[in-house]
């Protein structure tokens, strides 16, 4: 008997019957010779390329490099598109469509004659969406991220994606720069291919894809225009061919230990608050619960090492030259599960034990961290019974314990209308409150949580205030911002009943977020609360509103969680069951 495993694609291309004729013949329409059907593993290249997703606009070139690697290793590459999610453009929010993209990825992988898949992503939501879809499909999968942009430059000054948009927007509103200068900065910021080059959500999620073990080591930090990005893509394609025959599958990589590694790495790099939602959602696809408390527990014993904006000084290009993610992984290796398997077939310990660091100001040693605790803290209390999050490394130390008067904005339109009103009754000690920015309320949980400081306070020199909401914020943002309050206002969470003038207590050291009203007053307000009008009654919007879970549950759809994984050949459930009864051999 042959020792070669039976390839999944053989059920399409290896048949001697009419169906085999059909599958091969129609594929030959693309100009492939008969030799490609002679037992070569079929490697799908799942491409989120789109001109509407500028961060992923170079992925066709990356896909060509992956194909080189697949052909050279004896595979048969087939590139396919899925929907793509361009962070700057999509309304109401790309988060509204992350689950839709994950379904597209999952079903395209499962429905087609693939033995393994290479996932190409970059922009914020494309990375978690592909990981969620690939985890649910559970065919051997390896990710190659698109890489960060080169750093922006304006008047000899290095400027970073997102973070400097918020900074210069405040400077403009305060009258400290002109409109002409603001326009000039616009052209100087995004000057190459790639995703945002701060440690925003994109750099965070691509780093965590590597920390989870789903990319080759060193993949996340290589700048997009660097030729080594294409070398990485070629190597990824070659490795995918090996994985097609011998695995591992995502369910063998994405273990509880792998998620704990990713949570610690997120703390060490000062990663985006959005990472919590995405990691919870990816784990949910494998039937794993990641309670918010786990993020807080692991962050408390993980040093913050990456001196990269918005929590630090440098940009992703500097981070790469300093050693990139491997250098961070090496520093925190004693805290990681070093035995966790990665897609190259080696363990985390094997991959990162010898990683070098070339600049200790960019990547600090674990013994001399930027802060003893990294990551995102999780707050609970009468205002957030199921939790809320705050990123202390991007917040103001003097506001970590603060009680203030609530200034309430009922929704985002209300905020836009009134925040710069010179008559707004607000001072620097107030707590700004935004309602209806959550998964159902906005809908789609947009990145509205970094509420702008009112113009009149900016002109007084106020740079930060406590701001709270059920929304998310961009990973490139900074400030004392409490996010992801759960349950959200739109489902009757306590945020819904906050009124102007209420006292709100934020106590980060003790992880508390409280609305300081009496129990009687709380019950009186809850009794008269009414749910807001639904935004959609048809189409995807309706599906979203009917099935979206809350922030602490990862905002996945309830019916997508905990798919048990495993092979599902095309055809009806009956034919699938029959194959299982026939005990057809599995290559794994």
Question: Using CB under 6 A as the criterion, which residues of the chain lie in contact with ligand FES when the complex forms?
Answer: 55, 87-88, 123-124, 161, 195-196, 200, 202
Closest by Cα among 171, 122, 166, 170 to 143: 122
H/E segment holding residue 579: helix 573-581
- Please check whether residue 199 is in contact with residue 328, taking contact to mean a CB–CB distance below 8 angstroms: no
In the numeric block, the tokens 């985390």 are attached to 348
Nearer to ligand FES, 48 or 302 (CB): 48
Closest listed residue to residue 72, CA positions, set 218, 233, 247, 216? 233
CB of 95 to ligand FES, least distance (A): 13
Per-residue tokens: 332: 């925190």
Whether residue 56 contacts residue 81, with contact meaning beta carbons closer than 8 Å, is answered with: no
CB of 192 vs ligand FES, minimal distance in Å: 13
Give the integer Cα–Cα distance in Å for 297 and 496.
29
Beta strand 42-47 pairing with 116-121: parallel
CB of 276 to ligand FES, least distance (A): 18
Report the nearest approach of ligand FES to the CB of residue 58 (Å): 12
Residue 244 or 276: the one with the smaller Cβ distance to ligand FES is: 276
Closer CB to ligand FES, 251 or 266, in the complex: 266
By C-beta, is 150 or 335 nearer to ligand FES?
A: 150
Q: How far is the CB of 143 from ligand FES (least distance, A)?
A: 15
Cβ nearer to ligand FES, comparing 196 with 471:
196
Which of 557, 560, 562 minimizes the C-alpha distance to 546? 557
Sign of CA dihedral 421, 426, 430, 431: negative
Q: CB of 15: closest distance to ligand FES in angstroms?
A: 42
Smallest separation (angstroms) from ligand FES to the CB of 195: 4
**Which one, 165 or 362, has the nearer CB to ligand FES?**
165
Compute the Cα dihedral for 458, 503, 410, 200 and give only its sign: positive
Phi and psi torsions of 119, nearest 5°: -100, 120
Report yes or no: 52 and 87 within 8 Å, Cβ to Cβ: no
Query: Which residue lies nearer to ligand FES by CB, 139 or 143?
Result: 143
Min dist CB 187 to ligand FES, Å, is: 16
- List Cβ neighbours of 211 (8 Å cut-off, separation of 6 or more): 258, 261, 262, 265, 266, 325, 329
Those residues with Cβ within 8 angstroms of residue 106's Cβ, 6 or more apart along the chain or in another chain: 132, 133, 134, 136, 137
Instruction: Closer to ligand FES by CB, 196 or 388: give it.
Output: 196
Give whichever of 48 and 307 is closer to ligand FES, judged by the CB atom.
48
532 CB contacts (<8 Å, ≥6 apart)? 436, 441, 490
Which tokens sit at 251? 């369910």
């Amino acid at each position: 008997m042959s020792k070669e495993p039976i390839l999944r694609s053989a059920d399409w291309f290896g048949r001697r019957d009419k169906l085999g004729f059909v599958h091969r013949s129609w594929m030959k329409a693309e100009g492939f010779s008969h030799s490609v059907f002679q037992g070569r593993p079929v490697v799908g290249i799942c491409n989120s390329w789109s001109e509407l997703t500028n961060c992923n606009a170079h992925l066709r070139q990356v896909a060509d490099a992956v194909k080189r690697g697949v052909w050279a290793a004896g595979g048969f590459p087939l590139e396919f598109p899925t929907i793509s999610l361009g962070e700057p453009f999509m309304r109401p929010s790309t988060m509204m469509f992350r689950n839709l993209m994950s379904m597209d990825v999952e079903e395209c992988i499962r429905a087609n004659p693939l033995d393994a898949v290479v996932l190409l992503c970059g922009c914020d939501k494309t990375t978690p969406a592909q990981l969620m879809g690939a985890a649910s499909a559970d065919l051997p999968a390896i990710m190659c991220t698109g890489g960060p942009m080169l750093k922006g430059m304006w008047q000899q000054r290095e400027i970073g994606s997102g973070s400097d948009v918020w900074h210069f927007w405040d400077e403009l509103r305060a009258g400290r720069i002109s409109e002409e200068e603001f326009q000039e900065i616009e052209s100087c910021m995004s000057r190459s291919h790639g995703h945002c080059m701060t440690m925003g959500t994109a750099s965070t999620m691509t780093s965590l894809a590597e920390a989870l073990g789903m990319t080759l080591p060193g993949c996340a930090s290589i700048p997009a225009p660097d030729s080594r990005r294409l070398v990485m893509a070629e190597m990824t394609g070659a490795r995918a061919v090996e994985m097609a025959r011998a695995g591992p599958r995502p369910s063998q990589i994405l273990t509880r230990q792998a998620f704990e590694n990713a949570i610690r790495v997120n703390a060490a790099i000062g990663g985006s608050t959005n990472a919590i939602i995405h990691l919870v959602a990816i784990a949910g696809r494998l039937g794993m619960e990641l309670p918010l408390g786990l993020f807080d527990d692991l962050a408390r014993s993980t040093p913050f090492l990456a001196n990269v904006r918005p929590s630090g000084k440098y940009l992703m290009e500097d981070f790469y030259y300093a050693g990139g993610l491997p250098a961070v992984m090496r520093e925190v290796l004693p805290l990681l599960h070093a035995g966790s398997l990665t897609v190259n077939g080696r363990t985390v310990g094997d991959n990162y034990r010898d990683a070098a660091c070339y600049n200790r100001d960019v990547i600090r040693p674990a013994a001399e961290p930027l802060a003893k605790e990294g990551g995102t803290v999780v707050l609970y209390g009468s205002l957030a019974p199921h939790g809320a999050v705050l990123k202390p490394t991007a917040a103001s130390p003097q506001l970590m314990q603060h009680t203030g008067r609530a200034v309430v904005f009922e929704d985002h339109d209300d905020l836009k209308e009134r925040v710069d009103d010179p008559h707004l009754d607000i001072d620097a000690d107030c707590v700004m409150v935004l309602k209806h920015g959550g998964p159902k309320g906005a809908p789609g949980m947009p990145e509205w949580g970094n509420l702008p400081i009112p113009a009149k306070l900016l002109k007084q020199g106020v740079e930060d205030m406590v701001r709270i909401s059920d929304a998310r914020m961009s990973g490139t943002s900074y400030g004392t911002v409490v996010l992801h309050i759960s349950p959200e206002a739109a489902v009757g969470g306590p945020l819904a009943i906050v009124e102007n003038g209420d006292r709100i207590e934020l106590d980060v050291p003790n992880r508390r977020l409280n609305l300081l009203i009496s129990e009687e007053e709380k019950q009186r307000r809850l009794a008269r609360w009414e749910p807001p009008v639904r935004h959609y009654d048809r189409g995807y919007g309706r599906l979203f509103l009917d099935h979206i879970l809350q922030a602490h549950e990862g905002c996945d759809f309830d019916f997508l969680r905990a798919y048990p994984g495993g092979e599902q050949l095309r055809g009806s459930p009956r034919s699938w069951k029959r194959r299982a009864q026939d005990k057809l051999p599995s290559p794994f």
